[in-house]
Amino acid sequence: MTKSLRFTLKIFFVLIAVSFNLSAQEPEKTPPVSIELSDKEGIPVIIKHLPDWENKQKEATFIKTKERLHETLGARQIFQTFEFADDTEAVTANYSAGKLLIVEFGTPQSASETDKVIKQYLTGPNRSSEAFYKRIGNYSAFVLDGNDEAAANALFEQIKYEKVVRWLDYDPFAESRAERAFILETKGLFIGTVVAILTILLFAIAIGIVAGLIFFQYRQKRRSQYTVFSDGGGLTRLNLDDLTPETITTTLLND
């Protein structure tokens, strides 16, 4: 076998081995895609709800599965209180108060049920102090590895849930909202009625004062035109006190 033939065979076997290795490799995993992307920035909308998201978007981690959550933040016990459905996604970023994790659920029902489980876990006997928690709309927000509750609450206050919550079945908060709306409407009606009555009363008083002043000035002007005072009230009376001006002329009618 010549050297050229041996060299050709080596190249052939090397190519076969390389092709087998490439076929045996797992396909490259595609990054998770959010169900709602921002039209302007092209990033998941949930990232834009992070506090100071403009500066945090580059280091923020978008999470779509429980495995990815464990890879990013570790297999914590509190993560067993919720599952990732097809419409569930999360984002995490580091802050001075701790590691912020926002988990968004697709429906209010899922968020409400998960909220009950998480609160039950946090108030249970085996609970740990590994996280501060607050529900914000369909978000379950956690501050992990933090030791300042005030700082965690201040971080929660910066999270804005800007979506409209629609209940597929019965809305459990409908009665409380209706009661609050009734109270506000009744309060507004009462205040409006009182203001209207006071306005009319003040207007009537003002008109009475103006009319009284006008009548008083008119009476004063008429009184100023009298040369002498008479208590006859303009009636015909005898001029016994010589206070009434003489109106009888000197020329009398002939008999």
Q: Express each pLDDT in 203-220 by its tens digit.
A: 999 999 999 999 988 888
Per DSSP, the residues of 170-231 read: --TTHHHHHHHHHHHHHHHHHHHHHHHHHHHHHHHHHHHHHHHHHHHHHHHHHHHT-SS--S
Place of tokens 């009625």: 193
Contact between 118 and 89 under an 8 Å Cβ cutoff? The reply is: no
Contact between 90 and 44 under an 8 Å Cβ cutoff? The reply is: no
On whether the pTM is more than 0.85, the answer is no
Burial class of residue 136 in the structure, from the number of CB atoms within 10 Å of its CB (0-12 exposed, 13-18 middle, 19+ buried): middle
User: What is the rounded CA–CA span in Å between residue 83 and residue 249?
Assistant: 120
Collect all residues with Cβ–Cβ distance below 8 Å to 117 and sequence separation of at least 6. 81, 82
pLDDT, tens digit (0-9, with 9 covering 90-100), for 124-177: 765 656 688 999 888 899 998 888 888 888 999 988 776 655 666 666 667 777
